[in-house]
Each structure stands twice: as C-alpha cells, then as structure tokens.
Amino acid sequence: MAQVKICGLRRPDHIVTAAESGARFVGFVFFPKSPRAVSAEEAALLIPHVPVGVARVGLFVNPDDAFLDHTLGHVPLDIIQLHGSEDPGRVAAVKALTGLPVMKAVGLAGPDDLAALTDYGLVADMLLVDAKPSKGGDLPGGNGLPFDWRLLVGRTWLGPWMLAGGLTPQNVAEAIRLTGAPAVDVSSGVEIEPGEKDEGLMRAFVAAAS
Ligand SMILES: O=C(O)c1ccccc1N[C@@H]1O[C@H](COP(=O)(O)O)[C@@H](O)[C@H]1O
C-alpha cells in the first residue's frame, strides 16, 4: 500500500532488517538532543550497510551551513529531511547548498496548520506531515504523537509526501486507508524504548503498511 521509511537507525543489523523487510528509506538523526542521534563519524560507518535501492535520509533540525557541510563531508546522503522551524527560504537555501532533494516536515494540530503544506509544497521536493510538537518539548519530532488524520481526508497533493507521527504496526494500515498516504515514516512505533529499535516491530510495521 505505501512505501516505508524507518527513522533513527543506529545499528548495522537494524539497517539490514529494515531493508530486508522492505523499507525503501532509512533515516539517520543528526540532532544531538535525540535519543536516536548519531554523529557524522558514526553514520559514516553505518552507510555501507544500506543496500543499493534504499534511500539514505539525513534528519536535521535547524542545521547551519557548517553542520551540513561537515555531515555531508562524512556521510553520503540521498535526501535531506528538515524537521525544525526552517522557513521556505531556508529550505530553498539548503537545496542549493547541498544539491540534494529536501523533505520538509510540517506539523499539524488543526485546520489552521494546513496552509503551511501549500507554502512548503512550493519549495520542498517532498513533504513530511507530522504531528505538531508540544511547545517547550525537547524534540520537534520522534515523540510517538499522532495527529487527527481526518485533517488530510480528501486533500489534493501537488507533489510527493509522507505521513508520520505516532504510527505503529497496529495503526498504520488505518492511517494509510484514511489519508491515502503514498509513504509512511516511523521511529518510536518500532522501538522498545527511546532509541532502541526492535526487529520484530520493524518487520510488523512494514508488513502492515505494504
Ligand atoms: O526521531 C527523532 O528522534 C526525531 C528528532 C527530531 C525531529 C524528528 C525526529 N523524528 C521524526 O519524527 C517523526 C515522527 O516520529 P514518531 O514515529 O512519532 O516517533 C518521523 O518523521 C521521524 O523521522
């Protein structure tokens, strides 16, 4: 039914399991506050375990140019995921700086947030539609928080997009059915504790989404 991205991978065997299960994207979190964070040097050792045909996504939160340069100097990536408060101008600038496609996360809590999908859709190569994080929280994503998927029912999309936020092996099929999402992204929902992926949950998630 939908393509799958598994985010926040930190172990070679988990990358292999994600790919063997059928995930089409694997994500590496370059945000030090996250329990899933990896350094550029650590990610460089993980990348050779990603099979050809699986897209390597780097997740960044309000990165400056130097941080992007440093990371990309160590880690070959296929897609940049921007998950902070980057405005559309910054999205365009990151695309120009890196020469890579950018997937911009947009947080939804209610109908007032939908306009941002149009604004970012004009500059980003792909949208990642996530729950809006709570104010003052440590992480702008990866919180296992779903949003009201009915906000997206009947929406016309002008480009590629992914659904994220609190997805699990139990709820992902219903989320895809309601929203028509062509792709889904998961982090917490395939973990046994923050930052610790579980192979059985990863397999179950991909099976439920496919
Ligand atoms: O995964 C993280 O630690 C993270 C940190 C900072 C920003 C985003 C993060 N993850 C992304 O958040 C969404 C939803 O994750 P979850 O499945 O609800 O845990 C997903 O796109 C992750 O890539």
Q: What is the pLDDT of residue 1?
A: 84
Q: How many structural domains does the chain have?
A: 1
Per-residue pLDDT tens for 66-83? 999 999 999 999 999 999
Q: What is the pLDDT of residue 135?
A: 83
- State yes or no: ipTM above 0.90: yes
Structure tokens of 81? 């995921």
Q: Which domain holds residue 42?
A: 3-209
Contact call for residues 108 and 151 (beta carbons, < 8 A)? yes
Q: Please tell me if the CB atom of residue 36 comes closer than 6 angstroms to any atom of ligand 1.
A: yes
Q: Which atom of ligand 1 is nearest to the CA of 27?
A: 23
Q: Please tell me if the CB atom of residue 186 comes closer than 6 angstroms to any atom of ligand 1.
A: yes
Contact call for residues 179 and 142 (beta carbons, < 8 A)? no
Pairing of the two strands 25-29 and 55-60 = parallel
C-alpha 116/C-alpha 19 separation (Å) is: 32
Stretch 137-165: mean pLDDT, rounded? 93
C-alpha 34/C-alpha 138 separation (Å) is: 8
Which residues are annotated as catalytic? 7, 130
Stretch 143-150: mean pLDDT, rounded? 94
Sign, CA torsion 190/163/37/69: positive
Q: Determine which residue's CA is closest to atom 23 belonging to ligand 1.
A: 7
Closest CA to 54 of 105, 103, 5: 5
Residue whose structure tokens are 């964070």:
37
Q: What is the pLDDT of residue 20?
A: 97
Domain containing 107 — which CATH number?
Answer: 3.20.20.70
Strand partners, 81: 59, 103
Q: Check whether 123 has a pLDDT greater than 90.
A: yes
Show the CA angle centred on residue 51, arms to residues 59 and 56, nearest 5°: 15
Position 86: which residue type?
E
C-alpha 145/C-alpha 47 separation (Å) is: 28
